Structure 1
Amino acid sequence: MAVDTPLLQGNGGADDIQEAKPEGFFTRFASESRKLWQLAGPAIFTAISQYSLGALTQTFAGQVSELDLAAVSVENSVIAGFAFGVMLGMGSALETLCGQAYGAGQYRMLGVYMQRSWVILLTTATILVPIYVWSPPILELIGETTEISEAAGKFARWMLPQLYAYALNFPIQKFLQSQRKVFVMASISAVVLVLHTFFSWLLILKVGWGLTGAAIVLNTSWWLIVIGQLLYVFITTSDGAWSGFSWLAFADLFGFVKLSLASAVMLCLEFWYLMILVVIVGRLKDPLIPVDAISVCMNINGWDAMIAIGFNAAISVRVSNELGAGDFKAAKFGVLVVSITSVSIGVVVMAVVLATRDYFPYLFTSSAAVAKETTKLASLLAVTVLLNSLQPVLSGVAVGAGWQAIVAYINVACYYIVGLPAGIVLGFVFSFGAEGIWSGMIGGIVLQTIILVVITSITNWRREAEQAESRVKKWGGSIASEFRVD
């Protein structure tokens, strides 16, 4: 990653924006906003739809029995959640490579990159299979009861097809996103969500298949998404980006694996960070009410995070495409626009959380004690959703520009060396409980966000654009130059 101080840049720095006339600035802002929302809108809808598959399965399972609810909930959040984070992270390498290759006109390389990612993610999925198979003792090790662990473990083994659907789905999504074909993913996800809702009701409740029905429907829904997207890619050939299966998918894998691992470490450290919060709070004395309250807050934070994921995908595509095309000014201006837009939405969500802090807990619980504890935590939830409006955007910039390895180191330092220990000290040593644990972890997010803001601000975008083609060659393999379209 190339960085310089704005005073030394001469090109691509803040002066480019300051020199623009006011009317020119607002015209450019409106134009960039339109491009942003064309990507972010469908991406947000897709994220919410796919997030809803597991959430709806959990809801229907809760209508059967408390044990079924616990089994689906634990499998979704712990076993599948772990796999989801790994797969999403490994697949995110394509956001850099496909985005920059598309911007540079190397369209046929997109299909090769996607196939390479399939090879890597299918291998990763196979490595993760033992976690599913031996999930009962793993769950007991982290504190779950034997009854819940056995039920969740049984459900986890039934959900192995979903693991391999993840391995195919994420590369396809990054392949399509880089070409801005986000409406296709949104449409397929919408149709599958409707079918998922109906057949979940039919098999889980009406026919009475319980967890068996839940596994059948959830696995089928994820594979329908994969099949629908694959059919679109194969039939349309994505404007030349797909030219069929190729042995080139197995060439120059080392650089691709390196970037995939960096992407996985970067995103997994972020994805798991607040998930750990629930586990740590569960170690408090009398943890039932704090855990329930934290779970309510994390539920709201999860839905809000889907908006951030949409903006993350949008700015990743915009930055990678523009850097690949050599337009560093467009890339830099896109970062400014998405940051202002996302933070504005974050301020609105924060205000809503604070304004309804005495009321929204009762949407999730009938317990007055849990609602009271949730209200106490609402201010921390408000701060978290505000930070969530900017931090994922900056991570998207990092992915689009290819800075995953550097951000991975930043995440380790800020989250796990500063934030997590601070939360443990405040929660347990100083006896601030759930509020102390969450406050310390927020400190880690604040530190990471500040560092990413500084890095993004001093980046020499002209130099980043110049390095985009060499970055694709370095991580994509030496054959990239064979597919360039001038």
Structure 2
Amino acid sequence: MEDTESIEKGLLLEAASKQGDGFTAFTFPVFCEEVKRISYVAAPMVFVNLSQYFLQVISLMMVGHLGELALSSTAIAVSFCAVTGFSLLYGMSTAMETLCGQAYGAQQYQKLGILIYTAIFCLILACFPLTLLWLCMPKMFIAIGQDPLISQEAGKFTLWLLPALFAYATLQPLVRFFQVQSLIFPLLVSACATICFHIFICWTLVFKFGLGNFGAALSIVLSGLLPNPKLETSVLSVCLSTLSTLYAIPEGLGAAASTRVSNELGARNPNAARIAVWTVMILTAFETAIVSLALLASRNVFGYIFSNEEEVVDYVRIMAPLVCLCLIWNSFEGVLSVFHG
């Protein structure tokens, strides 16, 4: 009787392992194999995410050399629009990583088309109330005590960003659609073309056509309450732009992990999904250590990328350790947040 039960248990375990439910030890060879799978998606996605952040960062880099007013007004407008608009749309689009990823893993391809059209429609719909909010931005900033001159300039900049809001609402579902299928080449091509075009058009509009920070907007924090609003906003813009740009690396890792996990769960392979989670966390730890140390080592010079003002560069150097701490926290939080679905 005991032999019969042992045989039955053995058969059940064998059947479970064939279905992907068996337990696989997290050994070094398994880790290396999972690194290859994640890197195939993560490396291109890091570049794609960087190209999107670079659209704003390049604009700030060029506008920053026009003076503190141009840099501070552009920075506060970009920060406001990122928090209330672009980040909101990005967060809404991440639901597709779970839904589309599992549908693709389960080979339910018809659902992919339905999900992407629904996502685009919902995100564009969300753009209309956001547009009204952006139009009221100058009055809101002045009402809470922001510098009036910075508020007015930021408001003008925001008007030029409105078309980008609707474009972003269409872009993000398309990125998720290709990402969950590991179709990275179209994303790489479009990212390379966009960033090359943006550098040229931004330089032309800002310096050749004399449009200043409005040209930078066309090409794509409550700091005004501080004693020196132009200086403080400029310093914060450099720090926040650095953080947002470097955040693209763990964001790409998280996107790759989300694709792997959702695909494996859709294919009923929970053990493979577990291995993917542990692998990406180890990769994030290594990446965060390297990037934060490099940032700390270059704290005396990277401020010059955004501004020629010595005072701005000095304050950026003082803020560098805090930026490194924020980077470490954001990296782990960013990767872990993709597993909420």
Of the three residues 173, 177, 180, the one matched with 1:178 is 180
**Counterpart for residue 307 of structure 1:** 249
Residues 201, 393 of structure 1: alpha-carbon distance in 2 compared, 3 angstrom cutoff:
same
- Inter-partner Cα distance in structure 1 for 2:320 and 2:63: 28
Which structure 1 segments of 5+ residues have no match? 1-9, 219-277, 403-486
Please report how far the alpha carbon of residue 47 of structure 1 lies from its aligned counterpart in structure 2 after TM superposition: 0.9
2:287 corresponds to which of 337, 345, 357: 345
Match of 1:42 among 22, 39, 44: 44
Deviation at 1:69, TM superposition (A): 3.5
- 1:334 corresponds to which residue? 276
1:152 partner amino acid: A
Instruction: State the partner residue of 1:298.
Output: 240
CA drift at 1:82: 1.8
Q: Could you tell me how far apart the structure 2 residues matched to 1:47 and 1:315 are?
A: 15
Indicate the structure whose relative CO is greater, using CA pairs within 8 Å and at least 6 residues apart: 2
Q: What displacement does 1:81 show?
A: 3.9
CA distance in 2, matches of 1:337, 1:356: 29
Is the Cα–Cα contact under 8 Å of residues 346 and 388 in structure 1 kept in the other structure?
Answer: no
CA-based RMSD of the aligned residues comes to 2.9
Change (3 A) 1:290 1:179: same
The normalised TM-score by structure 1 is 0.60
Work out whether residues 295 and 320 of structure 2, in 8 Å CA contact, stay in contact via their aligned partners in 1: yes
Whole-Å separation in 1 of the counterparts to 2:310 and 2:58: 26
Residue of structure 1 equivalent to 2:163: 161
Q: How does 1:79-90 map to 2 (within 5 A)?
A: 79-90=81-92
Q: Which residue of 2 aligns with 1:4?
A: none
Match of 1:78 in 2: 80
Provide the C-alpha distance between the structure 1 equivalents of 2:214 and 2:321, rounded to a whole number of angstroms. Answer: 40
Q: 1:195 to 1:371 in 2, by over 3 A?
A: closer
User: Residue 337 of structure 2 aligns to which amino acid in structure 1?
Assistant: S
1:91 lines up with 2:93 in the alignment: yes
Aligned counterpart, 1:433: none
Where do 1:106-185 residues align within 5 Å?
106-185=108-187
C-alpha distance in 2 between matches for 1:204 and 1:101: 45
Amino acid at match of 2:150: I
Task: Give runs of aligned pairs for residues 266-281 of structure 1, distance below 5 A.
Answer: 279=222
Aligned to 2:204: 202
Q: Is the 8 A contact 2:147 2:229 kept in 1?
A: no
Amino acid at match of 2:99: L
> Contact 1:289–1:373 at 8 Å: present in 2 too?
no
CA-CA distance at 1:55 after TM superposition: 1.8
Distance in 1 separating the partners of 2:55 and 2:306: 19
Distance, in Å, in 1 between the alignment partners of 2:57 and 2:312 is 21
- Cα deviation, 1:358-381, whole Å, max 9, x if unaligned, reads 555566566666555544443333
SS of residue paired to 2:264: helix
Deviation of 1:392 (Å): 1.3
- The match for 1:248 is none
- Relative to structure 1, the CA distance from residue 38 to residue 130 in structure 2 (aligned partners, 3 Å threshold; closer, same or farther) is same
Instruction: Determine if contact 1:357/1:375 at 8 Å carries over to the other structure.
Output: yes
SS of 1:166 mapped into structure 2: helix
> Which residue of structure 2 lines up, in the alignment, with residue 380 of structure 1?
322
Which whole-Å CA distance do the structure 1 matches of 2:306 and 2:64 have between them? 14
Distance 1:354 1:80 in 2: 26
Over 3 Å counting, the alpha-carbon distance change for 1:206 and 1:168 in structure 2 is same
The residue matched to 2:146 in structure 1 has which SS?
coil
Give the distance between the partners of 2:187 and 2:281, measured in 1 at CA.
Answer: 24
1 CA distance for matches of 2:136 and 2:236? 28
Of stretches 373-382 and 46-55 in structure 1, the one that deviates more from structure 2 is 373-382
Say whether the 8 Å CA contact 2:288–2:327 is kept in structure 1: yes
Matched-pair identity in %: 33
- Paired residues, number: 323
In 1, the alpha carbon distance for the partners of 2:311 and 2:211 equals: 35
What whole-Å deviation, never above 9, does each CA across 1:435-474 have from its counterpart, x for those lacking one? Answer: xxxxxxxxxxxxxxxxxxxxxxxxxxxxxxxxxxxxxxxx
**Alpha-carbon distance in structure 2 between the residues aligned to 1:311 and 1:66:** 35
Matched residue, 2:53 = 51
Which residue number corresponds to residue 317 of structure 1? 259
Of stretches 43-52 and 370-379 in structure 1, the one that deviates more from structure 2 is: 370-379
CA–CA distance in 2 between the matches of 1:129 and 1:292?
A: 25
SS of equivalent residue, structure 1 residue 105: coil
Contact 2:120–2:173 (Cα < 8 Å) also in 1: yes
- TM-score normalised by L of structure 2: 0.83
Cα distance in 1 for residues equivalent to 2:99 and 2:80: 30
* 8 A Cα contact 2:72 2:231, kept in partner: no
